Amino acid sequence: MASQDWLEKDFYAALGVPQDASKKDIEKSYRRLARELHPDHNPDPDAGERFKEVSEAYSVLHDDSARAEYDQIQLMKSGRGGFGGMGGPGGANINFDDLFGGGGGAGGFSDLFGDLFSRGGGTRARRGPERGHDLRTHLTLDFADAVRGTTTELRMRAPGECRTCHGNGAAPGTSPVTCPRCNGTSLITENQGAFSFAQPCPECEGTGSVVTDPCPDCGGTGAVTRDRAITVRVPAGIGDGQTIRLAGRGAPGERGGRSGDLLVRVNVRTHPLFARDGDNVTLRLPVSFPEAAVGAKVKVPTLDGPVTLKVPAGTPTGRVLRVKGRGVPGKGDLLVTVEVEVPSDLSAEAREALEKYAAASPPADRSKLEELTGQ
């Protein structure tokens, strides 16, 4: 059941629990993280990868036999299972077969790695063709497309599956054959004293098969560099600098191996009028002094066409008015910040009118300033 990549993974850290955590604590932590990271609730592309990590960690640690096997692998990795030396406390000798339940019989410590990385019946786990590399590129979007979401075509020159051999690396009319050295298992075993180590077969480079007649176009690798057109679905509300992960759209694996992923970094162009505040779109709206003082209905632009906004009487500079549903679809609004314009050049008629207004109006309330300053 074990996998070699368990050596490089810390399932306890992925779930945020200690190594002696109970099954109940493991399940509780998994449920909380799954809710936070599930793609249906969290649009962040990185959350999808974390969701996969958390799910894998739970599938292992919630299974008693798998957890025991994983703990044993981590014990060997840390050196506490015997790699750090052959002596115990005070120089005492340690019988590793007894320590790991070998009892001196078959299946003892000398064949521990074989047991850890084997499948049913004792057959060595086949590594198979290696996964392709992840590729990175960037995509520049208009502000409105980032807010609303869009589907666009991305063109790039990158490695892709060879169309002649369809990725298996063999010339047309032929196929890869089982590796004669490892018999298709992808691993060979080397005995070093009391230890038995499995390593990738050098003949087939761990793929389990060899190409005797390589494809003339890709040279047996299964991949060629060519122009590719990739459709990218951009979710609504994506932010500048965020990354979209397209699973399986990266470089193809060698000789039919699983393709890597394509990581698309999004750059969002600025807009002359609008900006973003999370899922909300923001806008600064200039209004005249009379409009702010007595109230008015003002035509306001949005990403979906103009709307009429009511400015209440007595609106000061800096007040934020909300237009529902005009931000990120289904999530955000349009937040309009009012900026009251004070005219710097008045006509004679306007000045006369303002002077009459000033004479008829009470002065501004500055009592708080006088109270605090004593002036």
Per-residue pLDDT, 129 = 64
The 3-class secondary structure across the chain, one letter per residue, is CCCHHHHHCCHHHHHCCCCCCCHHHHHHHHHHHHHHHCCCCCCCHHHHHHHHHHHHHHHHHCCHHHHHHHHHHHHHHHCCCCCCCCECHHHCECCHHHHCCCCCCCCCHHHHHHHHCECHHHCECCCCCCCCCCEEEEEEECHHHHHHCEEEEEEEEEEEECCCCCCCCECCCCCCEECCCCCCCCEEEEEECCEEEEEECCCCCCCCEECCCECCCCCCCCEEEEEEEEEEEECCCCCCCCEEEECCCCCCCHHHCCCCCEEEEEEECCCCCEEEECCEEEEEEEEEHHHHHHCEEEEECCCCCCEEEEECCCCCCCCEEEECCCCCCCCCCEEEEEEEECCCCCCHHHHHHHHHHHHHCCCCCCHHHHHHHCC
Over the stretch 327-343, which tens digit does the pLDDT of each residue have?
999 999 999 999 999 88
Residue 243, amino acid: T
Query: Is pLDDT above 90 for 277?
Result: yes
Tokens of 189: 């075993």
pLDDT at 65: 83
pLDDT of residue 275: 97
pLDDT score of 77: 62
Q: How confident is the model at residue 359 (pLDDT cuts 50, 70, 90)?
A: confident
Does the structure show a pLDDT above 50 at 278?
Answer: yes
Mean pLDDT of 141-151: 96
Q: Is the pLDDT reported for residue 89 higher than 70?
A: no
Checking if the pLDDT of 51 tops 60, the result is: yes
Nearest C-alpha neighbor of 271 from the set 141, 151, 139: 141
Burial of 342 from C-beta contacts in 10 A (0-12 / 13-18 / 19+): exposed
Mean pLDDT computed over 314-328: 95
pLDDT band at 54 (very low <50, low <70, confident <90, very high): confident
Q: Which CATH architecture has domain 135-176+211-268?
A: Sandwich (2.60)
pLDDT of 11 higher than 60: yes
Position with higher pLDDT, 327 vs 44? 327
- Mean pLDDT (whole number) for 25-44: 80
pLDDT the model gives residue 139? 94
Same fold, 4-122 and 274-373: no
The tokens describing 133, both together, are 């590399």
Report the distance separating Cα 231 and Cα 250, nearest Å: 13
pLDDT tens for each residue of 92-103? 343 434 444 444
d(CA 148, CA 329): 6
- Above 90 in pLDDT, residue 365? no
Superfamily of the domain at 4-122: DnaJ domain (1.10.287.110)
The residues spanned by each domain of the chain are 4-122, 135-176+211-268, 274-373
325 burial (CB, 10 Å; 0-12 / 13-18 / 19+) is middle
Between CA 266 and CA 242 the distance in angstroms is 6
- CATH number, domain 274-373, options 3.40.50.300, 3.40.30.10, 2.30.30.90, 2.60.260.20: 2.60.260.20
pLDDT band at 361 (very low <50, low <70, confident <90, very high): confident
Q: Is 26 exposed, middle or buried (0-12, 13-18, 19+ CB in 10 A)?
A: buried
pLDDT exceeds cutoff 90 at 274: yes
The phi, psi pair for 98, rounded to 5°, reads -70, -40
Q: Which of the residue ranges 56-60, 77-81, 96-100, 246-250 would you say has the lowest mean pLDDT?
A: 96-100
Q: Which of 145-154, 259-268, 311-320, 342-351 has the lowest mean pLDDT?
A: 342-351
For residue 189, give the amino acid letter: T
What is the pLDDT, as a whole number, of residue 64? 85
Residue 52 reports pLDDT greater than 90: no
Q: Tell me the pTM.
A: 0.54
